[in-house]
Amino acid sequence: MINLRRNKDLAAVEGRRIGLDNVMTALAFVLLLVIVVIPISMIIYNAFFHEGKFTFNLIVEQLTRSTTLSSMWNTIKIGGLVTLFGTIMGVFYAWLLGRSNIPGKKLMRSLFTIPYMFPPFLGAMAWDLLLNGRSGYLNRWMMQTFNLSSAPLNINTIWGIVFVEVSYYFPFVFMQVVSALERMDPTLEESARIAGAKQGTVIRTITLPLVVPAISAGALLILISSLAHFGVPAILGFSQGIFTLPTRIFAVISRSGGSFEGIRQAAALSILLVVVVALALLLQRKVLSSGGYDIIKGKSMRPTLINLRGARIPLFILALVTLAVIVMVPLIMIFLVGLVRAYGLPLIPANFTLANYTRILTTSGTLDSIKNSLILAISAGIISMTLGTLIAYVVQKIKPRGTGVLEILSVLPYSIPGTVLAIGVILAWSGSLGINLYNTLWIILVAYIARYLSFSMKTSSAALLQVHPSLEEAARTCGATHTESLKDITLPLIRPAMISGFFLIFLPAMREVTTSVLLYGPYTRTLGVQIYSLRDAGMMPQAAALGSVAIVLIIVINAIVNAITADRKGV
């Protein structure tokens, strides 16, 4: 066994009383205390203590309200349905693009990850524009064309919300399963053929069971994301009074105008949301056993592709239509509505103008929101990446007492919904502890860091695991101090992982709505919040125009990221 604790001894060899390792360990604990422990404790405290005394009253009070119960039920229903359909869709397309002889596989595979980059709330906006029960473009067109008295389709329903969320969450399963299929030893399937099983039987009895761990991991991501999701139910549900727990919390806060009573109610609701997420995680663990199989292939082997024969072209068309519906249609819709002179006018060239674009690009509010989002995304990216790497280093290499606690604390925020995190941050940093960050960018930044810390922690951990202790030890024997070996050996080796960790944070932070919508002040709107508010204020074309700008920004940045990370050295 390699003794990973060796570094500790090496630090002691340095002859200092407080080694670098001790400083890093202490720092990791303090930072996690401030970023994670305090906000979460504040929620628990405010939900269970009233005037210094422990009480269940607040929770019970919430639970006896029908609005709370229906929001809870909606959250569970939407989360369950999105997970179910998203998983089915993800597995189906992963198999189709991973194992069949469908044309254009490579291109299709990268196209199928686009929905993953597409901000779901913009998708929801686009579908609302098309299929709104009262004023959707497509609905009005169908009513006119087919002489219908009422709208044939209504996106402002539970099913509408499920549809939009599935469109953008299925890639979680898709990407996991595609990579599992890719890594899978094809002879596992071939031996079943030789054993006499037909293609269909092989898929059912061998392929699917072997990718269950991958499916399960992807489904878990969908479930957590959907339960905590704010944007889609907010955009599609509010007008019809359909609330989920995250949107209910938002409603409570905005109705109360930031009063303490409102925030306390929100804290109680947050506890309920956390309970729902925790129960879902437990259930998931029961239903789908996780834990991977060893299915890695040996020598270079090419999987046998399944000949779809007659179904090849129809399935190809189905895949293209799917992409068109979930990516192209919303994209075009957002761009077109961004061009229209006034909301509601038919989408014909005569009504098009660039005025919306010039207006949003000249109003200081909008420009500020872009600037705010950039500042937040970059600083959250850098800070979380650094902290994540620091914590990962402490957990993986130093392993002080309490490593387990450290690890749990840093990934905890990942399973805590953004809405809840925002409430915690409000409770902690708007004066009650002596520090008031309310209405500043700082409070949003603190929330972002907590939210995305686990991302960089995970990538850095994986990279650090591959840096064998002997590498640092070799540097030490060459005369390098502990600090020098860290700086010259370990950091350069994990730099590529840190860079991809940065973008893993930067990209979602750019389009963040869930937490910032609860934390923004008059001068601290983010890009997402600005789009949301423009739309809320009825300025649909401007919201759409800004949405297009956001999409272009995200696509451009993504392309740059891919170009940068394409040729990476290191581990």
Partner 1 sequence: MAQVQVQLTNVTKRFVTKTLGDIVAVDDFNFEVYEGECFSILGPSGCGKTTALRMIAGFEDLTEGEIHLGGRPVSSSRKNLYVPPEERDLGMVFQAFAVWPHKNVFENVAYPLRIKKVQRAEIERRVKEALHHTSLTGLEKTYPSDLSGGQQQRIALARSIVTNPKVMLLDEPLSNLDPHLRETMRFELKELQSKFGFTIIFVTHDQSEAMAISDRMLVADMGKIMQIDTPENLYNRPINRFVHSFLGESTFLNVVIKDGKVYAKGDMEHPLDLEAPPNAESEMIMATRPNAIELTADKGYQTHVQTRIFLTDRTEYVVPIGNQTLKVQTPHRITFAQGESCSVRFVEPMWYPVEDPEAEKERQRRQLI
Structure-token pair, residue 289: 């056993």
Stretch that binds partner 1, among 169-177, 192-200, 214-222, 427-435 (CB under 8 A): 192-200
Contact residue for partner 1 among 57, 113, 201, 483 (CB under 8 A): 201
Structure-token pair, residue 533: 């508010």
Residue 212 CB, nearest approach to partner 1 (Å): 8
The verdict on 106 binding partner 1 (CB under 8 A) reads no
Residue 312 CB, nearest approach to partner 1 (Å): 16
The verdict on 180 binding partner 1 (CB under 8 A) reads no
Stretch that binds partner 1, among 206-214, 421-429, 445-453, 485-493 (CB under 8 A): 206-214
Q: How far apart are CA 177 and CA 183, in angstroms?
A: 10
Minimum CB distance to partner 1 smaller for 292 or for 400: 292
Distance between terminal CA atoms of the chain? 22
Minimum CB distance to partner 1 smaller for 215 or for 527: 215
The verdict on 185 binding partner 1 (CB under 8 A) reads yes
Residue 300 CB, nearest approach to partner 1 (Å): 10
Burial of 335 (0-12, 13-18, 19+ CB in 10 A): middle
Stretch that binds partner 1, among 196-204, 220-228, 420-428, 504-512 (CB under 8 A): 196-204
- 89-124 b/e (C-beta count within 10 Å ≥ 16 → b): bbbbbbbbbbbbebeeeeebbeebebbebbbbbbbb
The verdict on 316 binding partner 1 (CB under 8 A) reads no
Residue 104 CB, nearest approach to partner 1 (Å): 14
Structure-token pair, residue 7: 């570094």
How many Cβ atoms sit within 10 Å of the Cβ of residue 145? 8
Q: Interface mask (CB under 8 A) for partner 1, residues 278-307, using x and -?
A: ---------------xxx-xxx----x---
The verdict on 105 binding partner 1 (CB under 8 A) reads no
CA torsion, ordered 557, 563, 567, 569, to nearest 10 deg = -20
The verdict on 405 binding partner 1 (CB under 8 A) reads no
Burial of 52 (0-12, 13-18, 19+ CB in 10 A): exposed
Residue 197 CB, nearest approach to partner 1 (Å): 5
Contact residue for partner 1 among 44, 88, 114, 188 (CB under 8 A): 188
Q: How far apart are CA 273 and CA 73, in angstroms?
A: 11
Contact residue for partner 1 among 5, 65, 134, 198 (CB under 8 A): 198
Q: By C-alpha distance, which of 518, 416, 482 is closest to 14?
A: 482
Contact residue for partner 1 among 195, 328, 478, 552 (CB under 8 A): 195
C-alpha distances (whole Å) from 55 to each of 60, 140, 266, 433 are: 9, 53, 16, 22
The residues of the shown chain that bind partner 1, judged by CB under 8 A, are 185, 187-188, 190-199, 201, 205-206, 209-210, 212, 293-295, 297-299, 304
